[in-house]
Structure 1
Amino acid sequence: MYQFSYAEIMEDGVADAKDRERQALDRTIDLLRAASLKASYSREAIEALYYTRRVWVRFIEDLQHPENQLAVEIRANLISIAIWILKECDRIRKRQSDNFQGIIDVTTIIRDGLK
């Protein structure tokens, strides 16, 4: 029987977490793209904004957790980005903006950085 070392288990845990984060960001991007192709405030837009907000709020919660292993500066930068995305989502929801592409672009950069 093969015994896993603690380091191997932790490495797999980090890889799995990054994969789940990538999947959540992929879904966010897909929903935002679909919303950007529809009328200014469609059902797709509502779904995309709701999902995007949930993902980024969860990321903020994780980044604020004391046991998060990212460097403090990176965590602070990611929280700032998340806050911008949440504000942009709110502006779209209030029909003050239609900047889906800006959110898509930033989310794509963050997703690609998870490799």
Structure 2
Amino acid sequence: MTASIYADVSQGCSVLGREQECEAFDTGIALMQAAQADPGNFDRKRDAARHVQTLWGYLIKDLSRPANDLSDDLKGNLISIGLWVIREADAILGDRKDDWAPLIEINKTVREGLAT
């Protein structure tokens, strides 16, 4: 996914809403980076996973609303990404995975798309 894909999502959003979404992604990225740097700290891991799961849960819910006027293809792609993020964070919480890098990267990409 390129940063330009999520730029379509930001069209029609208020500047304030976009800023809040950027802040939510920035917080999630910072939490994941802190968890990656301190893998033995369960509290950091839990906080990062909860944040990104809550953020993407909200985005999926919004993308699923009939009033959301994005194309069905774009909504489907973003929902798939969101479900993947939620599953990956759950796998990290369950100690089935330990690498935050893919989650950090996809969240950075989406965040960059919001800023354009």
Question: What TM-score do you get using the length of structure 1 for normalisation?
Answer: 0.84
Q: Which amino acid aligns with 1:48?
A: A
Structural RMSD (CA): 1.6
Asked if structure 2 preserves the Cα contact closer than 8 Å seen for 1:33 and 1:100, the reply is yes
Give per-residue Cα distances to partners, 1:38-89, cap 9 Å, x unaligned: 1345211111111111101001000001111222111110000000000101
Name 1:93's counterpart in structure 2.
93
**For residues 1-115 of structure 1, what are the structure 2 equivalents within 5 Å?**
14-114=14-114, 115=116
Name whichever of 34-43 and 55-64 sits farther off. Answer: 34-43
Counterparts of 1:70 and 1:100, CA distance in 2 = 29
**Unaligned 5+ runs, structure 2:** 1-10
- Within 1, Cα distance between the matches of 2:70 and 2:15? 14
Point out the more displaced range, 34-43 or 83-92: 34-43
Distance 1:50 1:87, change over 3 A: same
Aligned-partner residue type, residue 30 of structure 2? D
CA distance in 2 between partners of 1:113 and 1:30 (Å): 17
Q: Work out whether residues 40 and 98 of structure 1, in 8 Å CA contact, stay in contact via their aligned partners in 2.
A: no
Measured in 2, the distance between the counterparts of 1:37 and 1:96 equals 18
Gaps of at least 5 residues in structure 1 are 1-10
Per chain length, whose mean CA-contact separation is higher, i.e. which structure has more relative contact order (CA < 8 Å, sep 6+)? 2
Matched residue count = 105
Q: Which runs of 4+ in 1 moved over 3 A?
A: none
Once residues 74 and 13 of structure 2 are traced to their aligned partners in structure 1, the CA distance between those partners, rounded to angstroms, is 20
